[in-house]
């Protein structure tokens, strides 16, 4: 049986309980409270934990089992996406405009009027980026922003947080470029957190939490 822990807002006390204590239902809920300081966020990602909550909720911390991940060598580039990439003149930019990327990711989407990427979340991840611990990718078609992705950098993994598209295949190409760079830099895994059918079509898969923690262990 899992247990949900309260995290006090005490300077210097940013430790998390071990993810094995996370609840089965709701899947992966480990703790609540605390803050979104850079120190606490970095400790969370190092332990395979991430924040996810609505604006009317306390800060909730999660470590689901199983875990959705994408191994860069397993990125599935469909024939239609291959054709699109070949015929499309696009530019890829790393770490150029984090604020714009996270705002685009936070924008309401069809059948999803709200967002979990609140102003406080945006500010917290912007600070991580300013400190060199977060990343973003932008894709442009003919000078127009088409898609992007942002996340957190770890020693052996990248932790994807969200992506967006404003033009056809914008987010898919962003993910394609992320995987290319990961292969070149020998970064083993991209954390996708929880299952989505869209990510599964791109090669992401579910693995045991234990295996995931081994992969990110530094």
- For residue 125, the SS3 value is helix
Fold for the domain defined by 68-207: Aminopeptidase (3.40.630)
pTM assigned to the model: 0.93
CB 151 within 8 A of CB 134: yes
Once rounded to an integer, what is the mean pLDDT over residues 129-136? 98
Give the pLDDT of residue 81. 97
User: Which regions of the chain carry the CATH code 3.40.630.70?
Assistant: 68-207
- In the predicted model, is pLDDT for residue 175 greater than 70? yes
R_g of the chain, CA atoms, integer Å: 17
User: Which regions of the chain carry the CATH code 3.30.70.3550?
Assistant: 5-65
Give the pLDDT of residue 116. 82
Give the pLDDT of residue 112. 57
Q: In the chain, where do the E strands start and end?
A: 5-7, 29-33, 50-51, 60-62, 67-70, 90-94, 134-141, 144-153, 157-165, 189-193, 205-207
- In the predicted model, is pLDDT for residue 109 greater than 60? yes
Which CATH class, in words, describes the domain spanning 5-65? alpha beta
Of 115-119, 179-183, 194-198, the one with minimum mean pLDDT is 115-119
């Amino acid at each position: 049986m899992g247990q949900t822990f309260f995290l006090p807002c005490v300077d210097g006390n940013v430790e998390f309980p071990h993810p094995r204590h996370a609840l089965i239902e709701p899947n992966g809920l480990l703790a609540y409270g605390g803050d979104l300081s850079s120190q606490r966020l970095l400790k969370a990602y190092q332990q395979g934990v991430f924040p996810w909550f609505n604006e009317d909720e306390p800060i909730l911390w999660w470590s689901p089992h199983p875990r959705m991940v994408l191994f860069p060598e397993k990125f599935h580039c469909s024939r239609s996406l291959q054709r699109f990439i070949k015929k499309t003149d696009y530019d890829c930019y790393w770490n150029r405009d984090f604020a714009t990327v996270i705002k685009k990711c936070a924008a309401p989407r069809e059948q999803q009027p709200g967002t979990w990427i609140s102003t406080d979340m945006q500010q917290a991840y912007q600070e991580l980026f300013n400190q060199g611990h977060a990343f973003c990718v932008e894709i442009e078609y003919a000078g127009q922003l088409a898609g992007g992705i942002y996340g957190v950098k770890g020693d052996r993994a990248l932790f994807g947080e969200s992506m967006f598209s404003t033009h056809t295949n914008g987010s898919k190409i962003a993910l394609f470029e992320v995987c290319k760079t990961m292969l070149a830099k020998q970064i083993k895994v991209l954390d996708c957190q929880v299952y989505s059918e869209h990510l599964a079509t791109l090669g992401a898969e579910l693995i045991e939490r234990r295996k995931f923690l081994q992969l990110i262990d530094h």
